[in-house]
Amino acid sequence: MVVPDEIAERLARQGADRGTSAEDVAAEVLRLHVPHGSDEGLGFIGLAQAKRGFSARRAEEQLEAEGFA
């Protein structure tokens, strides 16, 4: 992975401020912000059931007709 220079500099500054390495700071950021499991962060999927006859295409057309697209 290639890290842009600006980000690498920010990580290095944070590492120096904390008395640790840029790699440790990057690892901490990833631990805090990247889901651990394959389905974490997608818990909303499957929470509801569509009404009989529901059509995503029709719903999209209705939204567009009402100015929501």
pTM across the whole model: 0.50
Confirm whether 61 is domain-assigned. Answer: no
Domain count, the chain: 1
Confirm whether 52 is domain-assigned. Answer: no
Confirm whether 59 is domain-assigned. Answer: no
Task: Report the distance separating Cα 17 and Cα 27, nearest Å.
Answer: 16
Task: Report the distance separating Cα 10 and Cα 25, nearest Å.
Answer: 10
Confirm whether 63 is domain-assigned. Answer: no
Confirm whether 57 is domain-assigned. Answer: no
Cβ contacts of residue 25 below 8 Å, gap of 6+? 11, 14, 15, 18
pLDDT at position 17 over 80: yes
pLDDT (tens digit, 9 = 90+) per residue, 28-39?
Answer: 988 888 777 655
pLDDT (tens digit, 9 = 90+) per residue, 19-30?
Answer: 999 999 999 988
Residue 2, token pair as written in the block: 């290639």
Task: Report the distance separating Cα 12 and Cα 50, nearest Å.
Answer: 49
Q: Which domain holds residue 6?
A: 1-36
pLDDT (tens digit, 9 = 90+) per residue, 58-67?
Answer: 888 888 888 8
Confirm whether 23 is domain-assigned. Answer: yes
